[in-house]
Structure 1
Amino acid sequence: MINPVVVQNMKSKLEGKHFLKLADFTKAELMDLIRYTIQLKNMQKVGESHQLLKGKTLAMIFEKSSTRTRVSFETGMYQLGGHAMFLNKNDLQIGNGETIADTAKVLSRYVDGIMIRTYDHAIVEELADNASIPIINGLTDDFHPCQVLADLVTIYEEKGSFKGLKLAFVGDGNNMAQSLLMGCAIMGIDCTVASPDNSQVDPEVFKQVMGKAAVSGAKIEQTNDPHKAVEGADVIYTDVWASMGWNGDLEKRKQSFMKFQVNDELVKEAKEDYLFLHCLPAHREEEVTGTVIDGDHSVVFDQAENRLHAQKAILTSLL
């Protein structure tokens, strides 16, 4: 049965907060969310009711399409006894020129929280600055904090601890790479990102990551050598080479990224019990071969499932 003390502690710790990026949270807060996620997951598995958000409504604004984000938040709200309202940009007056600030103020009078999946991270920040209810970042071009919380849960479930772990991210230095670097830096996980020289993470974000790593003791590196990154890794992570909304010569980009493919040869550099993670959707035989993503080391579908439980932990903590 759910411990009401745990729920109250989570709410008191995160009361008044938004969930915009991992840098806004301490190691202790993220660890509490990880443990709380696992507790909610266990309750769901045994069929124990936990309708902690009965009567609450979440507005879900989507400017980018989604499978996992939409379904996990919508299902999560249902399981928690609340209601999720799907809104694309054509459903809102934002598409007709209404300001983000006015939208935030109006929706704050109607619903209990807003989850938004959009392009420019500044939109999420402006929404949070003007809303009187919690704002959750479902993904922007810069950050994907909900995904990384689920990733940390998956790693913790599989490894039992973060101590002494190394994560290697191989591919584009995109929003996933940036959020993973931040999550690892806060939690004390060594992390190396291997990307082509023209696709590395944002220098300002990397500077912030190094500041967090100085506190936790995590070793953070960037390289253009995927073999160096994967050497001795406990976790290998990759993502698509061209993120949603990317415009350019796709074939040329594929050619420049081919040496960053996670394949049977590359994973030999990792530890024998390595985990393979991918935030999905995956393009098999591009960023990862089918033999790796469908192999014994892959936990991508456990990882995807954990989006649901992590979302529920965020929702109940904030709402």
Structure 2
Amino acid sequence: MNSFRGRDFLRMTDFSREEVLVLLNLAAELKSGKTTVRCEQVLGLLFKKASTRTRVSFSVAMYQMGGQVIDLNTNLTQVSRGEPAVDTARVLDRYLDVLAIRTYEQQEVDTFASAANIPVINALTDLEHPCQVLADLLTVQEEFGTLEDVTLTYIGDGNNVAHSLLLGCALVGMNVRVASPEGYRPEPDIVAQAQAIAGDRTQVLVTHDPTLAAKDSQVLYTDVWASMGQESEAENRMPLFQPYQINDQLLGVADDKAIVLHCLPAHREEEITEAVLEGSQSRIWDEAENRLHAQKALLALLLGVS
């Protein structure tokens, strides 16, 4: 456990397979109440993007451990007036014990991490959403009792969530498939990295065919068709993405015991139908709850508390 202390979590690949499994096991123990952790440290939240689950789950996790949270509203700090990230990072390093950042450019969290000695957590960038995928993996592990050889299929925009799923699934020994329209596939460098991690052990597939990707899959996963910052593209994307909706027909080609995940917020009847989202195979609300437990485990490990 001491190997985590003081480290940053900026990308899924910042942790090894073994470390991800240690974190997930701790999260499961925290959720069950078998283990508790206590701390008196302070978490800062520096969010430039709107947030519900990430903001609340990080805050509740810290409060439940006995720590404190400072919400660094960018509109009320010098960040909004153009203070360089490196200067802000150096100052926050003197006040805080850990910092979670939700922003646009991956370079910004990298800059904070290089300038500050405290752990810096990527709470979402346009490139990756690793904290979400920790909760996703925890949910899959709860459902199937294992991660190895489980197949997860992501349907939709090849965005930050798709990137972290590709890397996270490859790390833990899951098969991962992504079905996206032409022009909206995941970044080739991320796909190549996932394939290198998976090697010959598991499958990493990127395709334009959602039916092929979903066939016999144990997990179907989706996200909004236009992420934050892309709202102006939503109308033009709609006809391109319509064949990539998770509905009863697509669920029907998956494994009989398949579950459905969505990182939320959901646009019902767009990327997912109401019937599937509220159906018996949905684990979306368990997945949302697991943000709390996975992030509590992450904070405890990075802070070195028990």
**TM-score normalized by the length of structure 2:** 0.97
Give the corresponding residue for 1:93: 78
Q: Map 1:1-319 to 2 at 5 A.
A: 10=1, 12-43=2-33, 50-53=36-39, 55-214=40-199, 217-319=201-303
Contact 2:225 2:234 in 1 (8 A): no
Contact 2:139 2:286 in 1 (8 A): yes
Give the corresponding residue for 1:4: none
Give the deviation of 1:247 after TM superposition: 4.5
Distance 1:298 1:40 in 2: 23
Give the deviation of 1:156 after TM superposition: 0.2
State the superposition RMSD in angstroms.
1.2
After superposition, give the CA deviation of every residue in 1:38-90 in whole Å (9 maximum; x if it has no partner).
011111xx8x8x3511x210010010010000100111111000001111211
Distance 1:163 1:152 in 2: 11
SS in structure 2 at match of 1:176 = helix
SS in structure 2 at match of 1:303 = helix
SS in structure 1 at match of 2:104 = coil
Give the deviation of 1:249 after TM superposition: 3.8
Report the number of matched residues: 303
SS in structure 2 at match of 1:248 = helix
After superposition, give the CA deviation of every residue in 1:136-167 in whole Å (9 maximum; x if it has no partner).
11000010000000000000011001122111
SS in structure 2 at match of 1:304 = helix
Distance 1:57 1:24 in 2: 23
Distance 2:171 2:233 in 1: 36
Structure 2 CA distance for partners of 1:36 and 1:255, relative to 1, 3 Å: same
Contact 1:124 1:137 in 2 (8 A): yes
Distance 1:262 1:293 in 2: 9
After superposition, give the CA deviation of every residue in 1:192-235 in whole Å (9 maximum; x if it has no partner).
100001100011111211111117x1210100000000001000
Distance 1:247 1:51 in 2: 40
Give the deviation of 1:15 after TM superposition: 1.9
Contact 1:177 1:201 in 2 (8 A): yes
Structure 2 CA distance for partners of 1:51 and 1:214, relative to 1, 3 Å: closer
After superposition, give the CA deviation of every residue in 1:108-163 in whole Å (9 maximum; x if it has no partner).
10010100100101000000000010001100001000000000000001100112
Give the corresponding residue for 1:5: none
Distance 2:148 2:125 in 1: 29
Distance 1:138 1:245 in 2: 16
After superposition, give the CA deviation of every residue in 1:265-284 in whole Å (9 maximum; x if it has no partner).
11111010001000010011
Letter in 1 for 2:290: N
Give the deviation of 1:242 after TM superposition: 0.3
Runs of 5+ in structure 1 lacking a partner? 1-9
Distance 1:230 1:84 in 2: 41
Runs of 5+ in structure 2 lacking a partner? none
Contact 1:184 1:218 in 2 (8 A): no
Distance 1:191 1:249 in 2: 27
**Seq. identity, %:** 46
Give 4+ residue runs of structure 1 displaced > 3 Å after superposition: none
SS in structure 2 at match of 1:197 = coil
SS in structure 1 at match of 2:60 = helix
SS in structure 2 at match of 1:60 = strand
